[in-house]
Amino acid sequence: VGQPGGEIVRRAWEAGLDARGVTMAGILDPRTLWSLGRLLRRERIRVAVANQAREIRLVGLSQLGRGGFRLVVRRGSPDPIKDNWHFRLVYTHLVDRLIVNCLALVEKVCAGAPWFDRGKVSVIPNGVDPAALRRTADPEGARAGLGLPAGARVVSMVGEVGPRKDQETFLRAIALRRRGGAVFLIAGTGPPAEEARLRALTAALGLDDGTVRWLGFRDDVPSLLAVSDVVVLPSREEGFPNALLEAMALGVPAIGTPVDGIPELIADGVNGLLVPVGDPAALAGAMARLLDDEDLRRGLGAAAAESIRAEFDLTAMMDRVESALAGC
């Protein structure tokens, strides 16, 4: 269920799923609450899973006094539950289960809501199917499409553009230690003002000569990761980063920061490297280590792929989600 004509509904239809459009206005809009409640009752929904703050409250409030289904909330970002009357009402009386995708998020999500029953929380990390990723990835096509020089080392960063992911530290690290022949790719979008600021910084640092390439939105992320020699995510705040998960599943060595869910993926020096938050010099040093040492890249990449295969299997994740839903 999503906004009529929205991206989620469109993609669901393309995937062969039964998707419905419901116009969602304010959380107290009577037409929205009536339409959503009517749909849930008509379809005899037993479990509703909501992801966004507005949808969580809409689904919960649409069923006030009616019951008949369980409300499961899934949170994948560190934004806390707010301490106001409608969040208290929904999370105290209507939410049956809260699923987060890493241990670090339990404290962050619940920090602003001491009244929330943490016994309702299930920690289920994201999963990945490495074989499916490899089938999807086309590194040769990506290299050709991007016009990358033959033999050039590629360092990629994938994620929303902004302070949380911290592309600025990535740019400043590149400027500290340019590697001969290396190309640095940044994929993702963000607020236009932030994108403009970071592109201006790229030029000010003298990196707009082809050293750094801003790619914008990409729908071929597996191919972009597969063409990379190193993947970097210098986040200041994070959930459980799918870009790192997928890169590691493909055997690409990764550099991250020790924040939130990243250390649940990367063990420093074992299957990747961790550097301090907001430290361009440390990030530059880590990138140089990997770019200059093929054996280190291969070793960390192989260890990364094995750790993902062993701990973050997609089928196991789906089984855990089904168990959590069935146990509501």
Which residue segments constitute the domains of the chain, with CATH numbers given? 7-127+314-326 (3.40.50), 130-311 (3.40.50.2000)
What is the distance, to the nearest Å, from the Cα of residue 315 to the centroid of all Cα atoms in its chain? 19
Supply the pLDDT for residue 62.
Answer: 64
pLDDT, tens only, 109-140? 888 888 989 899 999 999 999 999 899 888 88
Supply the pLDDT for residue 14.
Answer: 81
In the chain, which stretches have pLDDT less than 50? Answer: none
Supply the pLDDT for residue 64.
Answer: 57
Query: What's the CA gap between 26 and 30, in Å, rounded?
Result: 9
What is the biggest distance separating any 2 CA atoms in the chain, rounded to whole angstroms? 66
What are phi and psi for residue 26, nearest 5 degrees? -65, 160
Supply the pLDDT for residue 168.
Answer: 97
What are phi and psi for residue 128, nearest 5 degrees? -150, 150
DSSP assigned state of 63? T
Q: Within 10 Å of residue 326's Cβ, how many Cβ atoms? A: 10
Supply the pLDDT for residue 10.
Answer: 81
Supply the pLDDT for residue 79.
Answer: 83
Burial 72-109 (b: 16+ CB within 10 A, else e): bbbbbbbebbeeeeebeebbeebbbbbbbbbebbbebb
Q: What angle do helix axes 294-311 and 242-249 make, rounded to 10 degrees?
A: 110
Q: CA-based angle 319:325:328, to the nearest 5?
A: 140
Query: What's the CA gap between 119 and 297, in Å, rounded?
Result: 41
pLDDT, tens only, 218-257? 989 999 999 999 999 999 998 899 999 999 999 999 999 9
pTM of the model: 0.83
What are phi and psi for residue 204, nearest 5 degrees? -65, -30
Supply the pLDDT for residue 40.
Answer: 74
Supply the pLDDT for residue 60.
Answer: 66
DSSP assigned state of 122? E
Q: What's the first-to-final CA gap in the chain, in angstroms?
A: 21
Residue 262: strand, helix, or coil: helix
